[in-house]
Amino acid sequence: MKKIDVCLTPELLHLHDIENSIVVVVDIFRATSCMTTAFANGVEAIIPVATVDECVAYQQKGYLAAAERDGKTPDGFDFDNSPFSYMAEKVQGSTICVTTTNGTLAITKSKNAVKVMVGSFLNLGALTTYLKDQQYDVLVLCAGWKGKPNLEDTLFAGALVERLQDEFMIEEDAALMAQRLYNLGKDDLLACVASSSHVKRLQRLGIQKDIAYCLQHDLYDVLPVLRGNSLVNM
């Protein structure tokens, strides 16, 4: 039977053998929710890069560029890290270069996997259907916050474990804990995340609307996957 496991932060990724797994990277607030939304709105490709400097270099070559550090957008970029900013006509058919505090690092760290995919509550249903049909184990890699686990990414991991539990075996406690936390909170995810450290940080930035948006399930039928150095919609 295939296995599903959860890595609560990229700092623990070296403990997982990903060569035979599909890695689903998640950064709910807001990197992977933005990426999902971007593909749903017709973006052609997303290039994740590790540093703001690399992102600026792509912008100077004519790409659209999005950067986030500590929840804020440095000056001069084309998006403000809100998923709503990807619902614009300019994204249609474009290639966007992206760097974020936690999310893009998690993607670049996963390159040895069979496949690297991007997950969010927004495309949970599409991911579930796809992963059930594959022959590989699944590892959900939570981007976390500066190396530490966070609640919202863990909840997404739990949601995917819950949806895949009939086809995949749960072997490790991180997956079990994520699943239990999701089932405990799923009836009101907004209330469930309200006391989390990251949500408090984000609320200070005034993005309550983004938080509610990112917790919606199964909004888009998109499957972002890493091909070479770019994410594309399968």
Under the binding rule (CB under 8 A), the answer on residue 203 touching its own copies is no
In whole angstroms, the minimum distance from the beta carbon of 186 to its own copies comes to: 13
Distance in Å from the first CA to the final CA of the chain: 25
Residue 223 in the binding site for its own copies (CB under 8 A): no
List beta partners, residue 231: 46, 226
Residue type, 185: G
Tokens 């900013």 sit at which residue?
85
| Closest distance to its own copies from the beta carbon of 52 (Å) | 22
Q: Which of residues 18-77 bind its own copies (CB under 8 A)?
A: none
The length of the chain is: 234
Stretch in the footprint of its own copies (CB under 8 A) among 17-25, 56-64, 72-80, 139-147:
139-147
Tokens of 71: 């929840």
Question: By CB under 8 A, is residue 8 in contact with its own copies?
Answer: yes
Q: Are strands 95-99 and 45-48 parallel, antiparallel or unpaired?
A: parallel
Stretch that binds its own copies, among 23-31, 129-137, 169-177, 224-232 (CB under 8 A): 169-177
154 counts as binding its own copies under rule CB under 8 A: yes
Q: How far is CA 174 from CA 58, 68, 139, 203, 210, in A?
A: 37, 28, 11, 27, 27
197 is a site residue for its own copies (CB under 8 A):
yes
Centre a 10 Å sphere on the Cβ of residue 166 and count the other Cβ atoms it contains.
6
Residues that bind its own copies (CB under 8 A): 8-9, 11-12, 15, 145-151, 154, 171-174, 176-177, 180-181, 184, 195-198
